[in-house]
Chains A and B, each alone.
Chain A
Amino acid sequence: MDISKKIILTGSFGVGKTSLFSRFIYSDFDDRYLTTIGVKVDKKTIDIKEHKLNMMLWDIAGEVAQDKVPLSYFLGAHGIIYVFDLTRPMTYNNIGTDIEYLKDILPEGVVKVVGNKKDLVTPEHIEKVISSLPIMCDITTSAKTGENVEDLFKSMGENLV
């Protein structure tokens, strides 16, 4: 059975949302930093169990706090991927408040917390950052090497069908 779901990629600016998006959809990575203006929508269909899942991915321009993102972008979303940068504390300092806000506006939505840019830090550093967070980090990824990117979206898909 074909199913379509809306998934939002959000988080502070420069955390690698667009890179994760491009890595997953086009298997591509670009070292240049080009800030996202507004929102970019794209689609990828994956097979989950007996279903064909059309993931409509909304890559939203980064904001320092989630309440700065236009509320209408979140409406009707089935899943949210909240991305932070493992190398920059300012991108996860407010993670508790941000996740609480997202769960408030989308109580039934699936939220995944993702620490990106794992290729730039040591396993010890990752461990230290994750243990300092007030909420659970679902997965750590590297859009550059592709590590865990497929797993992230697959796990989101499994939670949605």
Chain B
Amino acid sequence: MMDHQDNVNQQLAIIRDILLHGDREEIKKIKGIIDSRVEMETRIQPIIDENISHIKKNFPEVFGKEVSLEVEKKILLSNDLILTAISPLMGKMIKRYITIQFQELKESIDRSVKNNFSAKRYYHLLLSRVFGIKSSEIILSELDAFKPDIKDIFVIQRNSGLLMGSYSTTEMGDSGIFGGMLTAIKSFGEDVFKNSGDDGHELEMIEYNSFKIFMQSHHNYYFAVVLKGTYNSSEKDKLSNQLIAFAEKEKKLNLKDFTGDDVKYISDQLGKFFA
């Protein structure tokens, strides 16, 4: 009985071998391909390349919506960070916009000047030729809104910061304290940069809103001039020359020790000279 069963099994195995031979060969071949990286790459890489190329060509259609949603989500979550990052850029853009607008205003003035053959035009031309100042700058400086306006002038002893004289058109508070604090700020700035290779240079300008404090140093003292309005290089030269002229005229400015009477005298002379 057992022999008969064994016989049947053997015959079935032979039949199975005959029938499945082809399939087994095919499976062996496929397994060979799967197990070999080179064989796999040869077959799959073209498909991947094709898909990548398709995604590249059609990225907005394929992923546009998902990317938009993700970016929107990130922007909402990082609002503060983004603002911090773009604020300086916005500032630069605004500054650039204003500069361009001013440039256009200057150019428009230049154009109108070109068409104007008045005596003033020839006067401006003369100034431009002689002093190298652009016509637009001359016109701007002639407009009241742009005119540099001297608000206050202080003469301050260099090291001590003591006030040697002042001429003021505004209510600025105590001039003595102003002189002291300004000297402290100046000293601080000069101290900070003394090792930067810029030794010998001094703080020359402080800007606050539309006000500027221009400082010009002399041997024992410095002038601090509070200005309002536009202040170009020609205005700076003009003011600097006026201060030098005043310094040459007033010998009392070189006093090492001075009294209240000296302060009053210097203040009166400043008033007469700059009013």
Contact = CB atoms under 8 A, between A and B. Distances in A.
Interface string B139-167: 00000000000000000011111110000
Contacts of B258: 4
B188 interface: yes
Nearest to A42: B177
A52 B260 contact: yes
A70 B188 CA distance: 8
B180 A56 contact: yes
Given A2-B263, A43-B176, A71-B191, A38 B184 contact: yes
Nearest to A1: B259
Majority SS of interface residues in chain B? Answer: helix
A32 to B, nearest CB: 23
B160 A72 contact: no
A56 B161 contact: yes
Contacts of B263: 2, 4
Contacts of A73: 184, 187
Interface string B172-201: 001011001100100110110000000000
Question: For B157, B163, B176, B263, which residue has the most chain A Cβ atoms within 10 angstroms?
Answer: B176
Given A43-B177, A72-B191, A6 B184 contact: no
Nearest to B264: A2
B188 to A, nearest CB: 6
Contacts of A56: 160-162, 176-177, 180
Nearest to A73: B187
A4 B162 contact: yes
B261 interface: yes
A3 interface: yes
Contacts of A6: 160-162, 180
Interface residues of B, number: 22
A58 B181 CA distance: 9
A5 to B, nearest CB: 8
B259 A2 contact: yes
Interface stretch (A16-24, A75-83, A125-133, A143-151): A75-83
> For chain A, which range describes its interface: under 10, 10 to 19, 20 to 34, or 35 or more residues?
20 to 34
Nearest to B181: A41
B180 A58 contact: yes
Given A43-B174, A56-B176, A70-B187, A2 B181 contact: no
Given A41-B177, A43-B180, A2 B261 contact: yes
A52 B259 CA distance: 10
B157 A76 contact: yes
29 contacts: A1-B259, A2-B260, A4-B260, A6-B160, A38-B184, A41-B161, A41-B184, A43-B174, A52-B260, A54-B176, A56-B161, A56-B176, A58-B161, A58-B180, A58-B184, A70-B187, A70-B188, A70-B191, A72-B188, A72-B190, A72-B191, A73-B184, A73-B187, A75-B160, A76-B160, A76-B161, A76-B162, A77-B160, A78-B160
Given A6-B160, A41-B184, A54-B176, 7 more contacts: A1-B261, A38-B188, A56-B162, A58-B161, A72-B159, A72-B190, A75-B187
